[in-house]
Each structure stands twice: as C-alpha cells, then as structure tokens.
Structure 1
Amino acid sequence: MSTTPKWYCRNKSQPMHMFAELTKLGQDLRRITKRLVIDVKVDIFSEHDTLLDECEQIIDQYWSLKDNTMNKDFQSLSKKIKRSPYNTLLMHKFHVITELNDRRFCQLTFVLKKTLSFLLRKSLQSEVWMNWALQITELYNKCRKPLVDSTANGSPKSPDEQMNANICSNMYPALLLPYKRVDFASVLQEAWRDTNESNCSSLEILRILTLNLTSDGDFQQFYTEQTNRDYTALTLTPEPGSSSTKGSSAIHMRSKHIEYFLQNERSFVKQFIEKAYDISPTIFGQASNENLHEFILQGMRLMWSYVGIILDHIILWWIDTPISCYSLAHVNSIRKWLFMQNVNDVPEPIYSTLQGVAEILTNFVSNNLWDRLFRLTLVTASANERNVDQFLDSHNTSPANNFGTNTGTVWIAIFSNLIDLSNNYFHSDDVSNSSLLPVAEQIPILHRIDHTVHCLRIWVKEESKKLCGKWKMHRYFQIHEHDVRLCLKLFEKFKLPKLTADLSDILMLVCVALRTKLICEVNKTTEECVQILSDICRLLSLANFTLCFPPTEYWQKASFDDDKKKSDYVGYVLDQIYLPCIKATKDISILKLILKLICEAWLDFIYQRQIRFSVNGAVRLLNDFDEVREWLLSCPLLDAEHLEKLSHHEVLRMCKGVGKILLRKPEDIISIAQTPKFEKRLGDSTANAQDTQLPSEMFVSNQKHWLQLRASKSSITFLPFCCKDSNGSFTTDSFDEVIATFTLTGKLFWMRTNHLYNSRHIGRDLKHKKNI
C-alpha cells in the first residue's frame, strides 16, 4: 500500500474570505491614514467625530483579524495538506498581505503620534482641539493593545513583550522601539510646552526675581494687556518710609503674587486632569478617580520643570539685554544667589525650578570661565602682568599664590573655579548617596578638570626640562612647590561621592573612567617633576666631575702636599649644584635626594673611568668624601634639623665605605667586625656617636669591583727611592749604577731565554731523527 500523500483541493471559502477581509483592511488603513493627514493639515473639523469613530473601528478590526490569524485551526493543517502546493501558495500569500497590513498599521500609528503632538500644542486655544487630542490619545493607546498570552492564564503580556514596530520613516527613530503608551506626563508636556513659550510664564519668574535688583521701570514689561490685570499686585509704588519697610513690603507682594500664580496653575491642572480622565482614562494607567489628586502634584512638578528648561534660555539669550553679554562675574553672582535661596522661603515647585536654573548657569559659567582662563594660560608668559592681575581679581575664590609664577596663578584659578562649580552640584555635605547626584551633569565638568590636569602636567614637564637644563632652581621650585602644590591641594575639597549605582549605565561608566584617569594624572604630575630633576641633576654632576676631577696620575702619587689638605673640586661641585637647591627649597626630601644623586654620580664617574688609587690616593679620596660633611656643617642656609639629617645621610656612609675599600688590597676579605688600619679616627664625640656596629664598607653593594681599583705595586717603583742620596736629591752616579744594573740584568735574562730556546730546538731535532 502506498504511503505517498495525495493532493486534493480543500474548501476555498474560508481562506478566500480571510484574504478578502485582510485586503479590505489594508485599503481602509491606507484611506484613514490619508484622511487624518489631510483633515488635520487643512483644519477641517466638521467631520472629526465620524473620522475618529471610523478610525477606532478600523483599529478594532485590525486587532480582531490579528487574533484570528493567530488561531491554531487556521495555521495548523494535516501532514498531507501541508505538502500540497495549493496550501503553500495560500500561506505565502497570507504572509505577504499580513506584512503589508502591519506596515500600513505602523504608518497609521506614526500619523496618530504626529497628529497628537500637533493638537496637544494647540489644545489650550480651543476646547474642540483639546477633546480631539485626548480622543486621538485614546486611539493611539489602543494601537498598542497588549497581545494575550494563550499559553498562560490569559493575562496580557508585559510592555517589553509587545510587538516591535516596523520601519515606515527614517526620520522617526522611535518606531524602531516597541510601542509605548502615552501617559499623563507626555500629554501634559506637549500641552504645556506652547504655554511656556507663548505666554512666557518663565518671563514672569524672571521678572519676579529681578524686582529687587533694579529700580521701578528699569525692567522690561514682558506681559501683555490681557495678563496685566492679573499682575497688578507686582507694581511697587514708592512710599515714604525706611528701606527695611520697603524691602519687607516688596517681599510680601512677591509672596502674594507667587501664591496667586501657583493657585491658578493648580486649578488648571485639576481641570485638565478631570477632562482627560473622562475622555482618555488610559493615560492614567490603573489609577482610580479617588487617586487623581496625586496627579495634580505630579503635574505641578512637571510644569515647573518645563518652565525651568525655558527659563535658562530666556535669562541667557532671549531677553533684550541677556546676561550672557555681561561679564562672567555677573552671571556667577546670579548663580550663587540662586543657590542661597532657602527651601522654607520658596514653594517646592519653584524651588526645584530655581535649583535647576542654577545648575544650568553653573554649566554655562564653567564652560565659559574654563575657556577664558585656559586661553589666558597660553599668553601669560608674554601678556601684561597688570591685565592678568586685573582679570584674576574678578575670580578671587582661588587661594593666594604670592610666591608662584603668573602662569601658575592662572592654573590655580582654573582648578579653584572648576572644583567649586563641581561641588555646587552637591547641595549638602552628605555625598554618600550617589543616587541623588546628577551624574550626567558631572561628566562635562569632569572632562574639563581632566583636560586641565593633563595640560598642567605637560606644562610643568616642559618647564621643568627647560629650567633644570639651565639649573634655575629658584624658578623650578616656584613651579613645583607653589604652583603645582597649590593646584593639587585644591583636590582635597573636591567632592567625589561613592559610586554605588549600577555600573552597566553608560553615564556611570564614563564617570568612573574620568575619575580614575583624574587620579592617575594627579599622581603623575609630581612624579614626573621629581624624575626630570633626578635625571638632569645626575647628568650635570657627571659633567662637573668630568671638568674638575683631577686626572688619573694625581691619584697614583706616592705622596701629597701636606699644605693643601682639601681638594678644590669638592667645594666647586657643591657650590654649582647643591647650593642653588638649598637657596630655593626647604624640602628635606628633595635636598636628601639631590645629595644622594651628587654622591652617586661621583662614585659612578670614578668607577666608569676605572681610576686606580694608590694608598695615599685612597686616603686623599676619603678626605674628600669627609669634606662633603664639613661643607654641609659650614653652610649657614641649612636649619639645625635639616643639617642633622643631611650630615648623617646613608650616601655619605657609602662614600666613606668606598674610600675604606680602596685602602685594602685586592685579595683582602672584608669582614663585618674588622676595619682597616688606615681608617681615619675622629676624636670628637659626635663622630663616634654616628658610628654604628655595621662598618661603612657594608653600605657598598659591589665591593669586589671597587677592590680592583687599587693600584698594583710594580718593581720599577723603587727607582725614585734608590736613586736618592741622604738629603733626598737625585745623584748621577747612583742613577748610572742603577741603569747599569738594569742593563746587566736584561742581558742575563736575554741569554737565559736564548739558551732555553736553543735547547728545546736541538732536543726536537734529535727526537725527529730518532723516529726516522
């Protein structure tokens, strides 16, 4: 029996009926979309009720057919029917029509969204526009009707499981995301945006804020005749009396006007919520009629947040005399005055708005102030000092830099202002809760601080190279100890909260990276300064020792002039290198470092040149090492505390150890407890007190190499002693006898060598003949 399925034609009535309905739905979607676009654009509202009802019916039909197509009976066929070419053709046609209808439905959603935004902006001008906007809002929310999960208990899916929208316009990227329900905040934002920009509630706030800054009539009248009767209480008529009475009356009138202004807005929000709940209840979610009072407070906060967005543009750019045209000190004073407002004196919605405006002004001041000060650092070297001081006087928040450079003073002003502006984002001293901090607002200012630290490090590095190359220590330590130290000291008051938020957020990751880089840049600044000083100090020390260190023959002499006990080169090197550092700084760590570098360069010079020393030469070198301590003790610029630490520096013990090693023979073994007999004993108690149980030789790491620098004894060295008479002068007879003795000895050595050579040659010949 054959198991091959047979093809047969099914009942065509059900598929054809479904295809006819889907085709008609596509035509209706296209027609209703065109009518919405045309009727809204030409302002034809006579048929809007019929149009919206028809649109609602089409949306319901779309979702009804969508549910029917998800039916298992429609999609599942038997195995034999699945293999039929007729069913394959039907399913392909079905998918094509369904995809086309989904795209047209997405276009309808796009048109409804754009129409809704347009109508909400004009909704406060006409009640008809308001009703139609709310009805379209209800239709739009029906367009994202949740799909019923048939595998579960019939509950609707969550919003993140909704059907994704198709792309119908490259100019509307929001369609790439799932549908989002239009809520109360979105409706109020679109409806109130035109009110903020046309009726200028923000301008009224600006006028209230500036009443006590100018005299009557100096400010611009921003309100119209229609709104003039509502603000007659703001007109301040001059009355005789004290200044305190005038000030209190002005504050009372301002408070009265603010309360009246807030009451009007509260009534507007309440009426708007009641109308919206009757026409479009879906914008409130699952809220009931008893919970609508919460939306009144939410609406007030939203409205005032939108006011704050417009207010900063009005203050900075839109008025006749924008404050952006004034100096930054003027803008900064307004910003500080806004931060000084007390929450108990200003109602909560207005207080939050003022704080938001203050933060925007903070960003404006930080951008412009950083730009001006940063450009000033580039010209301070050639600019007029009076102009620089005059500009810096307007930013007197930075600490005084009385001993630093002009460029360093500008760097300090940059850091001081940037850190103060960054700290203004934290309204309290408790910065542990990072969830309350505006991370996005911190990133631009952290960028500028990071860039400033980086540029400061480059400037310090280049200046250090130039000044250390000329060995201008006074100028170098001006930058290092005053400019750089004051800049880095400002970071002690820099508020950086603990990052306890989710690090998957891109803003938080950027903030963490900026703070990490900022710490690295701060640490590199001082490290590079010290490293440049160390490298150039060692190079200059080697150069000075190359010029003034005595030649090799000097250290191999058998005796030295007793009248000249000190070497001139030691004091010369210390005067050229170490004395400018002592005059420029009192930092004991830097002084110890430079002393160590000079002595190590001294030892490296001796070791690289492989200078060999006689016994007296080694004693002479040991005395030169001791002269360093004597030079330090005789320097009047060193304090007693510094003198104590420098005179007992470990590098001096190492130099002394090198001198003692040179007094030994190359084959000697250095013992920890034993010292050579040539050691110079110091009789005073201070020298004995500094001696420890560990000998100075133990401070030298490469003892064996230093032992090789001891000059070896030669047989020719007795010539000067054997050729002298009893008075110590050379005699011709003695010298001739010595020459004759050397000549005879040479002849005997030659004859002995020749005899040995001949004997070996004769023996080799005899052995060769014997073998033959």
Structure 2
Amino acid sequence: MDNNYRTNVAKWLPPVNSMLEEWYENCLLLHKSMRKLTEEIISTTGEIESSNNCYHKNLEDILTSLEALLKDYESIKQVAYQKHPVHKYKVEHFKTLIKRRLNVVAKITRDLINDILDCKHDVLLNSIFRFVNTYNKILDLDLDVTDLSTNIFHNDCPSMIEPLKKISITRLLQILAKNRAEDYCHELIECLLANYHPEDGKTELKSTTFADAEISENSSIEIYRALTKHMTPPIASVTLPGTVISNIESIQTLVNAQNELIVNLLNVAKELSPKLFGLGAIKVNQGESRLRKAALRKATDYYQEVAWGAVSSILDHVVLWWSPEALASRHSQGALHLKDWLHQFIQANEVPPTVSPALQNLCDALGCHVTTTAWDQIFRSAYTSAFNCQSKPLSTEGTDTGQMFAELFALLVSLSNECEVGGEWVVGAPLIELPISEQIMVLHRMDHSVHMMRLWAMQEASRIAHTWDLNAFFLLVRGDLKNCIEELSYLKLADHTNALASESVNVQVYVCTRMRAKIASEVNANIQLLKDSPLKCIQTLAKICRTVSLANLHMCFPRPIYWRNNTDAAPTMQSFYVATYLEKVLLPVLEVVEDYEISNMILKIMCESWLDYIYLHRIKFSEWGALQLLTDFAFVKTWLMECSIISQTVKGHLLKNEVLRRCEGVGRLLLRHPGEAITMRKKPVRSNSASGSPESLGLERMPAEMYVPNQEQWLELRASKRCSFFCIE
C-alpha cells in the first residue's frame, strides 16, 4: 500500500531538477556538520570547566570548522524560487532547520567565548577575537525564525529563546571582569595583608600553620587568617597611633596591572577586530592604526568600574565562606577585627577611588555578618542564662547575665554608630552615602535586645526580692541596669528628616530612611523604659518589703497574752523579737546600699507593717504591755545609733524618719486613759550638733501622738482592767 501511495503522490508532483536535489543534499550535509560542531564545542567547554589544558588545539579546529560552516551557509543561502507549493514548503522547511541549527551554534559559541575569555595568553586572545568575529558574522545573517506572536519576558525566558546580541568591546570587558573577579579578590586580600604587616609579606603567609585545619596557601581564607593573626588584641592594635603601617602602593600596583592587562587586550582587538570599537575610536597614521587616548581612557575606566563592582559583590563571600573550612564559623571575632581595621585603613589612606567602594562594601558586609552572628551568639547566651534562672554574681559590678547584655549593647552601639558615618564622610554625609539598610538591621536587633533586657531585669528583680537577697537585688538594679544604660548612652542617632526633605533621593533610600526613623523612635522609647526600670524595681521591692515584714512578724512576734501582762514593774529591756525583726528586714538593706532614701523607705515600710500587724490582729495591751511596746519602739533608735555599718549621713536621715515618731505615738496612746487630753505645750529640749550649733527642733515640738492617724481606733486596743468575780458589769 505504501508503494502505491508514493507512486500516486509522485504523479502529482513536478519533476525535481538536479540543482534542487543537490541543494537538498548540501543542506543535509550542512545540518549534520553543524550538529557535529555543536557537540565539539560542548565537549571543549566541559574540558575548560575541568581545567584541562588540552583544549587549545581543539579551539583551532573549532575555529576552522566554524569559518568553513559560514562559507557553506553562504553557498546554500540562495536557492531558485519554487512555484509548486510542495517544493516551496520543503525549501522553507530546510531553511528553517538550518537557521535554527545555526542559532544553536551561535549560542554555544557565545558561551564558549564567555568561558575562555582571559588575558593570560596572547595566543588565546587571538583565538578569542576570531571567535568574536565569527559570532558577529553569524548574527549578521538573517536567522530570525521566531513567531511574532511569541512574547519573551526577561524573568522567565529560557536561555535558548533569548534574542542574541552582538559582542562589543564593552561586552568583552564585562565578561573579562566577571571571569577574573575571584582572582582580583585574592590579590586584594594579599594587598591588605601587605598593608597591615608589609615586612612579613608572603613569608608569613606561607609559614602560617593552624593545628585544627590544613588549607591551601593560596586560599583567601588562609590569607585572611594570616591577616587577623596580627590583630591580637584587636582594639588596642587599631587605635594606637602608628600601628597601621601604610603600604598603599601595593593596591595601586594592582590597579595599574589591571590597566596594563586591558591595554594589551585593546591592542589585540585593534588589530583583529577593529569593528568592535565603533566609529572614531581608532585613528590611522601613516598606515599604522592606534587607539585614541579618549577611547583608551574610557575603556580602562569602564573596566575598572565593572571589575571592582564584580569584586565588591563577592569579596565578603571570599573572605568569610569560600573555603573547605569557613572562617566565619571558626573566628567569632575575626570579622569584627577585620572590619575595624578596614574602617581605619580607609579613613587613614588614600585608597584608589575604584577600590574604595569595594572595601567600604566589605566593611558593611562584615558589619552585617558581625551583627547577625555575634548578636545571635551573645543574645542566645544571655537568653538561656536569664530564663533558666542561672544569673549569678560575676563581680561587684553585676551578674553574668547582665554582663552579657552589656557586651551585647556595646557591640550594637558600636555597629550603629559606625553606620552614622559613610565612606570618606565623618559628619554630614549624604543619605546615599550612608549604610542605612545595614543600620536598620542593627537597630532592629537593638530594639529587641533592650526590650528583652528590661523584661528580664523586672522579672529577675521581682524573683530576687521575694527571697530578700538584697545583695543580688542591688547588684542587678545598681549594677546590671546601670551598666546597660551606660552602654546605651553612647548611641548616636542623627535625625535625617531635614536631609530627606532637602535632598533628592531614590525610592529605596527614601523608604530605608523612613524605616530607620521608625525603628530609631522605638529604640529610644525602649531605652527610656529601661532607664525607668530601676525606679520600678525599687517600687517592686517596696511592695514585697511589706509582705516580708509581715511574714517575719508572724514568725517572731509574741503571743497576745504577752501584751496583757499586769506586772507592776515597768519594763527596762526590749522584747526578744525586736532585734530579730531588724536583723531580718532592715540590716540586709543597710549592708548593701548607702542610699538614705532606700534605707528610709525600708524603715518606714517595716515600721508601718509592724503597726499594721498589731492593729489587724486586734492585740490588746495592758499598761505594762503598752510600756513594753513603747520600749520596743524606742529600741529601734538605739539599734540605729549603735549600728556600726551605717554612715553618719544615712544614720542622721534614719533617726529623723517620721515613722519612728508615729510608733512612739501609738505606744503613748495605749497608755492614755479615756478622755485624757493631749497636751500641746511640750517644753523644747535643745541639743547641740557635732559642730556645736543648736539643732533645729522642727516638728519635734509636736507630741508623738499627733503623728498617729485614727487615734480613736488605737485607743480601742487598750485592755480593760481585770474585774473580781462579784463585779456586775
């Protein structure tokens, strides 16, 4: 049936002439050769990626085949017009197949140029420009076979359907800068090492050994380790005058070497591919072609910009991560040391303008790395220590947890203050020059850390106060909180509102500046809350003091029958519980603080609790009991005067506390008879102070009973006289 079908179809087709048959055969051969050439290019690209040095011979063979392929395509490009629709369709189909295959060859050739572009060998440069010329010639052909209805989007367009563009000299410079970016990173790190310790040079690099890891001597991480080895202690080494030894010529030598490399590239391109430069870039003088100085300067400047931009994008990764054993995971302080040194190095030396942005970006990236890693480490340690109730006294200045928070704040404040300065600017830097996005990250962590520290301090202070361990309590309030507030006092946050209104900035800078202002206001609000925390902790202590006082009185206060004793002899000694009460409540405060306000507050609360305990339990007092209570109250003054750990200043304020007069007034009220009037004419007794001058009596003229509110209620606590059996009430 197939033979019959073909025979019948052949009857309807016109005869094919010999020229058309030969054209078909040539198209098939060309298609086959292009397929074979594609495979050779792909194989050579794989050898280049595997660092095989045997690919140089293959490049010459590929070039020869590629140039021959173009000649063959030129020979078959023209074909006689076919009127018959079947032959016409077949010719168009063959043309489409050839064009598509040639497009594939062009794309793979472009990838090959990207991989082999380097300036290390002049012979390879000649091959590169021959490839570029051939590639551009392919694009000069009419190879467009795309459907006009196809929409191509940059973000999801497959690489095989992207429209091809000719390679210009600027495109070659871009590719070369990208290919050599990592090498430039290594060379720059070597220059930084030479600038920090030029007398050691590479000898120190080769002699550097580490017990925990063996890494290649050419690794940038090993270079960085050698660099940071000289930075111990880091702060002292970078702040003392004369420590940084300038050898800035090494960096300038690197820049000059790059310019020489580009000049060599342009000289080869001038001879082999003059069309890449465009019109007016080359001048011919007496048969000799030369590049114009303006074109040469423009090309070198463009390459420097692109090359150091590529270096800037990967330099932090090279320094921190590109190693079998990443330095970032080994040196917790290494990045901070390098950042501090680089910051001073940029400020103190005239770094080439093309290199300075790369070093500044490295500083910013290292700052971000330090912010994330160091903050995570210190904050995690402080968090676990705080909420596992493991805070222990570290020294006389604070606890271990408080010390961790203080170190954390010192780090964040230092990083934030460095973000207030941009590049070569010390003050008044334009917004575009400031690392605002990096500062946002620092301020966000600072806001969270301050909030966390405040919550921990309030909770820990309340917990410690319930145990009445006032040494630890004031170590936290007067030590940890004070140290953290002092570290945060060094924070500098400039107001960029006026600069934002006056300067013309892009959307990113505008949004970042607004976000920084928002976070800065939250940080300031949390810092203010932290500053108010010591007072709130003292207020919490005051509330707990009443509970502690009542608990101690409950344990040691005599039974009610003790106060109804009718012994005729007046008491001469204080009760046994008074000294115990004072030693349990007041003495721990006097041992740890020299603040008369806090001591007065505790004395007032414990005496008020003493009176409240008596009144709430409705204890009845006989005349002897009232005298005994009055003696107990009077012993408080005696105890204060005899206490050797109290300074004279604090002792003077404690003895003048009105609560002592109130206690005395309660005792005297319990001795009064119903209806007995309180005399207001008390003869003043003047006493001389230590300086010999008479002291002002002030409110001492007023009787003690007048300090007692609700006197009638206290009079109800007097015990009635014992009646005989025959008494009738």
TM-score, length-scaled by structure 1: 0.56
> Residues 251 and 718 (structure 1 numbering): CA distance in 2 closer, same or farther, change over 3 Å?
closer
Overall identity of the aligned pairs, in %: 25
Counterpart residue type for residue 202 of structure 1 = C
Q: Determine the structure 2 residue equivalent to 1:205.
A: 188
The question of whether the paired residues in 2 share the 8 Å contact of 1:119 and 1:130 is answered with no
Counterpart residue type for residue 495 of structure 1 = K
SS of alignment partner, residue 327 of structure 1: coil
> Residues 207 and 564 (structure 1 numbering): CA distance in 2 closer, same or farther, change over 3 Å?
same
> Residues 361 and 131 (structure 1 numbering): CA distance in 2 closer, same or farther, change over 3 Å?
closer
Counterpart residue type for residue 474 of structure 1 = N
Q: Determine the structure 1 residue equivalent to 2:377.
A: 372
2: CA distance, partners of 1:561 / 1:37: 127
> Residues 666 and 414 (structure 1 numbering): CA distance in 2 closer, same or farther, change over 3 Å?
farther
> Residues 220 and 624 (structure 1 numbering): CA distance in 2 closer, same or farther, change over 3 Å?
same
2: CA distance, partners of 1:590 / 1:355: 51
SS of alignment partner, residue 168 of structure 2: helix
Alpha-carbon distance, 1:305 to partner: 4.2
User: What do the CA deviations read for 1:418-452 (whole angstroms, capped 9, x no partner)?
Assistant: 33333333348966768354221122222333333
Q: Determine the structure 1 residue equivalent to 2:416.
A: 422
Q: Determine the structure 1 residue equivalent to 2:591.
A: 583
Q: Determine the structure 2 residue equivalent to 1:405.
A: 399
1:194 is aligned, of 156, 175, 178, to 178
Q: Determine the structure 1 residue equivalent to 2:21.
A: none
Q: Determine the structure 1 residue equivalent to 2:646.
A: 638
Alpha-carbon distance, 1:357 to partner: 0.9
User: What do the CA deviations read for 1:274-308 (whole angstroms, capped 9, x no partner)?
Assistant: 999969xxxxxxxxxx9999999798566534422
SS of alignment partner, residue 328 of structure 1: coil
The question of whether the paired residues in 1 share the 8 Å contact of 2:421 and 2:429 is answered with no
Matches within 5 A, 1:280-429: 304-319=308-323, 322-341=326-345, 342-377=347-382, 401-427=395-421
1: CA distance, partners of 2:569 / 2:262: 105
1: CA distance, partners of 2:218 / 2:265: 27
Alpha-carbon distance, 1:200 to partner: 2.9
Counterpart residue type for residue 691 of structure 1 = G
Q: Determine the structure 2 residue equivalent to 1:727.
A: none
Alpha-carbon distance, 1:577 to partner: 1.2
Counterpart residue type for residue 423 of structure 1 = N
1:251 is aligned, of 247, 251, 254, to 247
2: CA distance, partners of 1:628 / 1:491: 42
SS of alignment partner, residue 495 of structure 1: coil
Matches within 5 A, 1:73-472: 107-108=151-152, 110=154, 128-130=166-168, 194-195=178-179, 197=181, 200-211=183-194, 212=198, 215-216=202-203, 218=206, 220-221=217-218, 251=247, 254=250, 256-261=252-257, 263=259, 304-319=308-323, 322-341=326-345, 342-377=347-382, 401-427=395-421, 435=431, 437-472=434-469
Alpha-carbon distance, 1:563 to partner: 4.2
Counterpart residue type for residue 545 of structure 2 = C
User: What do the CA deviations read for 1:703-755 (whole angstroms, capped 9, x no partner)?
Assistant: 2x3422203889x7384xxxxxxxxxxxxxxx7xx83xx47xx9xxxxxxxxx
Counterpart residue type for residue 362 of structure 1 = G
User: What do the CA deviations read for 1:634-672 (whole angstroms, capped 9, x no partner)?
Assistant: 110011122222222344344455556666778799xxx
TM-score, length-scaled by structure 2: 0.59
Alpha-carbon distance, 1:578 to partner: 1.1
Q: Determine the structure 2 residue equivalent to 1:495.
A: 492
More displaced stretch, 685-694 vs 620-629: 685-694
> Residues 259 and 608 (structure 1 numbering): CA distance in 2 closer, same or farther, change over 3 Å?
same
> Residues 710 and 114 (structure 1 numbering): CA distance in 2 closer, same or farther, change over 3 Å?
same
SS of alignment partner, residue 448 of structure 2: helix
Is 2:472 the counterpart of 1:475? yes
Counterpart residue type for residue 129 of structure 1 = I
> Residues 607 and 538 (structure 1 numbering): CA distance in 2 closer, same or farther, change over 3 Å?
same
> Residues 378 and 356 (structure 1 numbering): CA distance in 2 closer, same or farther, change over 3 Å?
same
User: What do the CA deviations read for 1:351-405 (whole angstroms, capped 9, x no partner)?
Assistant: 332222122212222322233334444677999x9xx99xxxxxxxxxx955533
Counterpart residue type for residue 333 of structure 2 = A
2: CA distance, partners of 1:581 / 1:37: 92
> Residues 252 and 374 (structure 1 numbering): CA distance in 2 closer, same or farther, change over 3 Å?
closer
SS of alignment partner, residue 215 of structure 1: helix
Counterpart residue type for residue 717 of structure 1 = K
The question of whether the paired residues in 2 share the 8 Å contact of 1:662 and 1:706 is answered with no
2:577 is aligned, of 569, 582, 602, to 569
User: What do the CA deviations read for 1:449-497 (whole angstroms, capped 9, x no partner)?
Assistant: 3333344344434543443333222233333322332222211212222
1:486 is aligned, of 475, 483, 486, to 483
Aligned length: 531
The question of whether the paired residues in 2 share the 8 Å contact of 1:556 and 1:711 is answered with no
> Residues 248 and 255 (structure 1 numbering): CA distance in 2 closer, same or farther, change over 3 Å?
farther
SS of alignment partner, residue 355 of structure 2: helix
> Residues 349 and 631 (structure 1 numbering): CA distance in 2 closer, same or farther, change over 3 Å?
farther
1: CA distance, partners of 2:552 / 2:201: 70
Gaps of 5+ in 1: 1-30, 59-100, 135-187, 224-246, 280-289, 390-399, 720-734, 747-772
Counterpart residue type for residue 438 of structure 2 = E
> Residues 512 and 485 (structure 1 numbering): CA distance in 2 closer, same or farther, change over 3 Å?
closer
> Residues 48 and 291 (structure 1 numbering): CA distance in 2 closer, same or farther, change over 3 Å?
closer
SS of alignment partner, residue 696 of structure 2: helix
Counterpart residue type for residue 130 of structure 1 = S
Alpha-carbon distance, 1:541 to partner: 0.2
User: What do the CA deviations read for 1:122-155 (whole angstroms, capped 9, x no partner)?
Assistant: x9xxxx4237979xxxxxxxxxxxxxxxxxxxxx
> Residues 117 and 451 (structure 1 numbering): CA distance in 2 closer, same or farther, change over 3 Å?
farther
> Residues 108 and 518 (structure 1 numbering): CA distance in 2 closer, same or farther, change over 3 Å?
same
The question of whether the paired residues in 2 share the 8 Å contact of 1:377 and 1:407 is answered with yes
> Residues 194 and 351 (structure 1 numbering): CA distance in 2 closer, same or farther, change over 3 Å?
closer
> Residues 553 and 303 (structure 1 numbering): CA distance in 2 closer, same or farther, change over 3 Å?
same
1:541 is aligned, of 549, 574, 586, to 549
Counterpart residue type for residue 347 of structure 1 = P
Alpha-carbon distance, 1:257 to partner: 0.6
Counterpart residue type for residue 543 of structure 1 = A
The question of whether the paired residues in 2 share the 8 Å contact of 1:559 and 1:616 is answered with yes
Query: Alignment RMSD, CA only?
Result: 5.3
Alpha-carbon distance, 1:530 to partner: 2.4
2: CA distance, partners of 1:262 / 1:446: 40
> Residues 132 and 366 (structure 1 numbering): CA distance in 2 closer, same or farther, change over 3 Å?
closer
> Residues 611 and 210 (structure 1 numbering): CA distance in 2 closer, same or farther, change over 3 Å?
same
More displaced stretch, 108-117 vs 429-438: 108-117
1: CA distance, partners of 2:426 / 2:596: 38
Which protein shows a greater Rg? 1
Counterpart residue type for residue 194 of structure 1 = K
Matches within 5 A, 1:507-522: 507-508=515-516, 510-512=518-520, 514-516=522-524, 518-520=526-528, 522=530
Q: Determine the structure 2 residue equivalent to 1:689.
A: 696
2: CA distance, partners of 1:529 / 1:203: 55
Q: Determine the structure 2 residue equivalent to 1:48.
A: 139
Alpha-carbon distance, 1:348 to partner: 2.8
User: What do the CA deviations read for 1:494-513 (whole angstroms, capped 9, x no partner)?
Assistant: 22222426686563355235
